[in-house]
Amino acid sequence: MNATRIDRGSNETTEIYSEGTELVFERTFDAPREQVWKAFTDPQIIPRWWGKHGTITTVVEMDVRPGGKWRYVNSAPDRDDVTFYGEYLDVAPPERFEWTFMFDVEGIGPMGGPESYDFEDLGSRTKVRSVGHFDSLESIDGALATGMVEGAIETWDRLDAELARG
């Protein structure tokens, strides 16, 4: 790809950047790939880490197979519930999955699109790489304006703590 790489809010644990119309999140977790995969695909584990600190996530639907639907409702005391939803497009345990990642933004409507997750086996550690595919740089900027970077970092911080608990 010949697109310019733009840092989108990386910190000491999570690298976040865009290249063209792709928005990339990368982080290495101190846990084996099978454990990280399970944390992303087990509806009993998702509520323990998914969402910003102080939020509660309810897994309404989660059918981890190509064509399977998923729907999470994220609640917080200071705002209306936010529903995230989509469909699994490809699932290759424990290496990768691709889904549509959608959410509704008040006054704008549905936002999101295809997103892929790769789980790179580093022995006792796992590098997770999420790539969101957008139709334009303006769409990326719109998604980032919703607080996506802060939310993703906090969510992955919670995942890191959950993985440390085993």
- Does 77 map to a domain? yes
Return the pLDDT at 78: 92
Boundaries of domain holding 76: 33-165
- Does 7 map to a domain? no
Q: What is the tally of structural domains in the chain?
A: 1
- Does 13 map to a domain? no
Return the pLDDT at 107: 67
- Does 3 map to a domain? no
Reported as a single tens digit per residue, the pLDDT across 108-140 is 667 778 999 999 999 999 999 999 999 888 888
Beta bridge partners of 75: 56
List the Cα angle 43/45/50 in 5-degree steps: 95
Give the CATH number, domain containing residue 38: 3.30.530.20
pTM score, two decimals?
Answer: 0.92
Q: How many CB atoms lie within 10 A of CB 77?
A: 7
- Does 12 map to a domain? no
- Residue 42 makes CB contacts below 8 A (sequence gap 6+) with none
List the Cα angle 151/19/139 in 5-degree steps: 60
- Does 88 map to a domain? yes
